[in-house]
């Protein structure tokens, strides 16, 4: 019997897992029984592009910068990113009011507001369907024992870089087979001094005697 090395096993397993996650997302529950979602999986090269874009946002979006810096670390071990996208207009005719317009027709006619992250206004049920698909993928990843985290920032990055095209709304699910869960408690990214400095800046009253007291 042929011997397959662990690295190959893990890599192939990850590819299959991503395919299965895509199937789970594709068949997930959705309102209005309409599957209009677009879905792509991206490899390391695109992940690097997304990471650089997110990191370049720097102080403008600390959350995106954090995720950009993190992805550069993430791709050192086998990882993948599933990106889900959908258009913003409502085909449902629910007239629910969640988007701020009384009817779906009014919302569909409203002027489109473009931005890097998403185009609005968008149908809340389109959003919900998209995110349910993301959770179906995440839920399968969890069951398969993969490390997994849902990222809106990387999705926004992919849309801004036009890696996923012709969509107004995006969300992404990242999975990894790293030896240690890379997605949570990412303490290695900051030193104690940096953390203390940021904490002092964000919560200045924590070390003061009472709220509002400033010592010269």
Partner 1 sequence: MRQFEEDRKEAVEIAARLLLVSATTTPRVGGVGECTTHILEDECDIEDLCQQIEKMSEENTAWDFFKRDAVILRDADAVLIVTSLRSLTDPADINCNMCGKLTCEYLREEQKLPQEPGVAFTGPLCSFRANNISYAIDGIISMARNLGIDYGVYWSAGAAAMRMEIVPKATGFAIGVGISVTEKSPFRDIPLRYGEINDKTMNDRIIQRLWPQFRSIYS
The residues of the shown chain that bind partner 1, judged by CB under 8 A, are 28-29, 31, 61, 63, 93-104, 110, 112-115, 117-122, 124-125, 127-132, 134-136, 138-139, 149-150, 152, 156, 169, 171
Q: Shortest gap between Cβ of 136 and partner 1 (angstroms)?
A: 6
Burial (Cβ within 10 Å: 0-12, 13-18, ≥19) of residue 27: exposed
Distance CA 110, CA 20 (A): 38
Nearer to partner 1, 39 or 171 (CB): 171
Closest C-alpha among 180, 178, 190 to residue 76: 178
Nearer to partner 1, 11 or 102 (CB): 102
DSSP string, 110-139: SPPB--SS--BS--HHHHHHHHHHHHHHHH
Q: What is the DSSP letter of 215?
A: -
Q: Shortest gap between Cβ of 110 and partner 1 (angstroms)?
A: 7
Strands 79-86 and 169-176: antiparallel
Q: Shortest gap between Cβ of 120 and partner 1 (angstroms)?
A: 3
Distance CA 129, CA 89 (A): 13
Nearer to partner 1, 27 or 205 (CB): 27
Q: Shortest gap between Cβ of 216 and partner 1 (angstroms)?
A: 32
For 15, the enclosing helix (H) or strand (E) is helix 6-26
Q: Shortest gap between Cβ of 175 and partner 1 (angstroms)?
A: 13
Q: What is the DSSP letter of 187?
A: G
Nearer to partner 1, 123 or 163 (CB): 123
Q: Shortest gap between Cβ of 64 and partner 1 (angstroms)?
A: 9
Nearer to partner 1, 31 or 41 (CB): 31
């Amino acid at each position: 019997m042929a011997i397959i090395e662990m690295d190959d096993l893990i890599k192939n397993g990850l590819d299959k897992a991503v395919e299965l996650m895509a199937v789970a997302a594709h068949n997930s529950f959705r309102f209005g029984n309409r599957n209009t979602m677009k879905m792509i999986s991206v490899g390391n090269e695109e992940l690097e592009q997304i990471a650089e874009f997110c990191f370049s946002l720097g102080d403008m979006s600390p959350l995106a910068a954090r995720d950009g810096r993190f992805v550069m670390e993430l791709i050192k071990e086998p990882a993948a990113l599933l990106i889900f996208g959908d258009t913003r207009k409502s085909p449902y005719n629910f007239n629910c009011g969640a988007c701020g317009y009384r009817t779906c027709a009014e919302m569909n006619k409203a002027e489109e507001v473009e931005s890097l992250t998403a185009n609005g206004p968008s149908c809340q049920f389109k959003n919900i369907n998209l995110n349910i698909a993301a959770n179906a993928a995440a839920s399968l990843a969890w069951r398969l024992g993969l490390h997994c985290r849902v990222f809106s920032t990387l999705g926004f990055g992919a849309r801004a870089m036009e890696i996923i095209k012709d969509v107004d709304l995006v969300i992404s699910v990242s999975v990894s087979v790293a030896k240690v869960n890379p997605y949570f408690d990412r303490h290695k990214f900051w030193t104690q001094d940096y953390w203390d400095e940021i904490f002092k800046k964000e919560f200045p009253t924590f070390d003061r005697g009472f709220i509002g007291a400033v010592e010269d």
